[in-house]
Amino acid sequence: MLSTVFELSIWVTSVCGVLVAGWLIWRADKQRDLMALAGFAVMMALWCFGHLALFHEQHSIGMCLLLANPLMPTFFLHFAVLFVNEGPAQRPWLNALSRYMPCVYLTSVMVMIYSVWVGAGDTTPLLDGRPFFIFNQLGAINLGYTVLVGIAGHGVLLLGWQQHSGNKRRSILAMFGVGAWGLLLATSFIFPSLGINVFPYPMLLLPSYLLLLVYGVVRYQILAVNRFANRALLVLVMMLVVLCVIAVLGTFSGRIGLVALTNVPIWQLWLYSLVVLLIAAVVYPWVRQLSERMVFPGAVLNEQILEHWNRQLGQAKSWHDLVTEGESLLLQQLRLPVSICLSGHAKSDGHYLVLDKAESGWFSHSENSDDLSPGMRLTLEVFGSLFATSCAALERSLALAETERKRLDEQHLVELGSLSAAMAHELRNPLNIISMASYNAPADTRRHIQEQLTRADRLVSDMLVYSGKITLQYQPVSIKPLVNSVIASLNTENVLMTLQLADDVTVQADPHRLQQVFINLIDNALAYVRNQTDGSICIEAQTDAQSFICRIHNNGPALEASLHGGELFRPFVTKRSGGSGLGLAIVRRILDAHSGQIAHRNDCGWPVTFEFSLPPNAVHQPSGESIDV
553 CB-side CA count, 13 A: 16
Q: Is the pLDDT of residue 626 over 50?
A: no
Q: Does domain 2-221 match CATH 1.10.4080.10?
A: no
Q: Is the pLDDT of residue 197 over 80?
A: no
The more confidently predicted of residues 567 and 309 is 309
Q: Is the pLDDT of residue 221 over 60?
A: no
499 pLDDT band, cuts 50/70/90, is very high
549-575 CB burial, b ≥16 within 10 A, e <16: bbbbbbbbeeeeeeeeeeebbebeebe
| CATH pick for 470-628 out of 2.40.160.20, 3.90.870.10, 3.30.565.10, 1.10.640.10 | 3.30.565.10
255 pLDDT band, cuts 50/70/90, is low
Helix (DSSP H) and strand (DSSP E) numbers for the chain: 19, 14
Helix (H, G, I), strand (E, B) or coil at 315: coil
Q: Which of 312-316, 377-381, 429-433 has the lowest mean pLDDT?
A: 429-433
Question: 170-173 contacts: CB < 8 A, separation 24 or more?
Answer: 170/220, 171/83, 171/216, 171/217, 171/219, 171/220, 171/221, 172/83, 172/84
Contact present, 505 and 543 (Cβ < 8 Å): yes
- φ and ψ of 503, to 5 deg: -70, -25
Please tell me the distance from the alpha carbon of residue 563 to that of residue 578, in angstroms, as a whole number.
Answer: 18
- List Cβ neighbours of 33 (8 Å cut-off, separation of 6 or more): 79, 82, 83, 86
Question: Max alpha carbon distance in the chain (Å)?
Answer: 136
Among 625, 365, 606, 342, which Cα is nearest to 496's?
606
Q: Is the pLDDT of residue 581 over 50?
A: yes
88 pLDDT band, cuts 50/70/90, is low
Q: Is the pLDDT of residue 231 over 50?
A: yes
Query: Which residues of 8-104 form beta strands (DSSP E)?
Result: none
Return the pLDDT at 223.
Answer: 45
467 pLDDT band, cuts 50/70/90, is low
Return the pLDDT at 627.
Answer: 46
Per-residue pLDDT reduced to its tens digit, 381-403: 888 888 888 888 888 888 888 88
Q: Is the pLDDT of residue 17 over 60?
A: yes
Q: What is the mean pLDDT of residues 445-464?
A: 72
Q: What is the mean pLDDT of residues 317-342?
A: 84
CB atoms within 10 A of CB 349: 8
Question: 163-166 contacts: CB < 8 A, separation 24 or more?
Answer: 163/84, 163/89, 163/91, 164/84, 164/87, 164/89
Return the pLDDT at 611.
Answer: 92
Name the β-bridge partners of 132: 124
The more confidently predicted of residues 141 and 9 is 141
The segment(s) of the chain belonging to CATH 1.20.1070.10 are 2-221
Among 35, 98, 39, which Cα is nearest to 71's?
39
Q: Is the pLDDT of residue 356 over 90?
A: no
Mean pLDDT of the chain: 78
Name the β-bridge partners of 627: 472
Helix (H, G, I), strand (E, B) or coil at 128: coil
Return the pLDDT at 624.
Answer: 44
Among 268, 224, 228, 216, which Cα is nearest to 246's?
268
DSSP per residue, 475-536 = EEEEHHHHHHHHHHHS--TT-EEEEE--TT-EEEE-HHHHHHHHHHHHHHHHHHHTTSTT-E
Q: What is the mean pLDDT of residues 415-431?
A: 70
Which secondary-structure segment (H or E) carries 301?
A: none
Q: Is the pLDDT of residue 8 over 90?
A: no
pTM: 0.44
365 CB-side CA count, 13 A: 8
Return the pLDDT at 218.
Answer: 60
Please tell me the distance from the alpha carbon of residue 605 to that of residue 556, in angstroms, as a whole number.
Answer: 12
Return the pLDDT at 623.
Answer: 43
The more confidently predicted of residues 232 and 552 is 552
Per-residue pLDDT reduced to its tens digit, 155-171: 888 888 887 777 777 77
Q: Is the pLDDT of residue 518 over 90?
A: yes
CB atoms within 10 A of CB 38: 23
CB atoms within 10 A of CB 380: 24
The more confidently predicted of residues 252 and 614 is 614
Return the pLDDT at 468.
Answer: 63
Return the pLDDT at 417.
Answer: 64
619 pLDDT band, cuts 50/70/90, is very low
340 pLDDT band, cuts 50/70/90, is confident
CB atoms within 10 A of CB 592: 14
Q: Which of 56-65, 290-299, 454-463, 478-487 has the lowest mean pLDDT?
A: 290-299
Among 159, 156, 161, 164, which Cα is nearest to 172's?
161
Contact present, 610 and 569 (Cβ < 8 Å): no
228 pLDDT band, cuts 50/70/90, is low
Q: Which of 135-144, 255-264, 540-549, 582-591 has the lowest mean pLDDT?
A: 255-264
Return the pLDDT at 405.
Answer: 79
Per-residue pLDDT reduced to its tens digit, 107-136: 999 999 999 999 888 887 766 677 878 888
The segment(s) of the chain belonging to CATH 3.30.565.10 are 470-628
496 pLDDT band, cuts 50/70/90, is very high
Per-residue pLDDT reduced to its tens digit, 525-540: 998 888 888 899 999 9
- φ and ψ of 130, to 5 deg: -80, 145
Q: Is the pLDDT of residue 577 over 60?
A: no
Percent of the chain beyond pLDDT 90? 9
Contact present, 75 and 112 (Cβ < 8 Å): no
Q: Is the pLDDT of residue 235 over 70?
A: no
Fill in the amino acid letter for 604. C
Q: What is the mean pLDDT of residues 293-297?
A: 59
Among 382, 396, 387, which Cα is nearest to 354's?
387
Pairing of β 351-358 and β 338-342: parallel
Return the pLDDT at 489.
Answer: 83
Among 500, 573, 590, 606, which Cα is nearest to 543's?
500
CB atoms within 10 A of CB 478: 14
Return the pLDDT at 74.
Answer: 92
Q: What is the mean pLDDT of residues 459-474?
A: 71
Among 62, 82, 83, 72, which Cα is nearest to 39's?
72
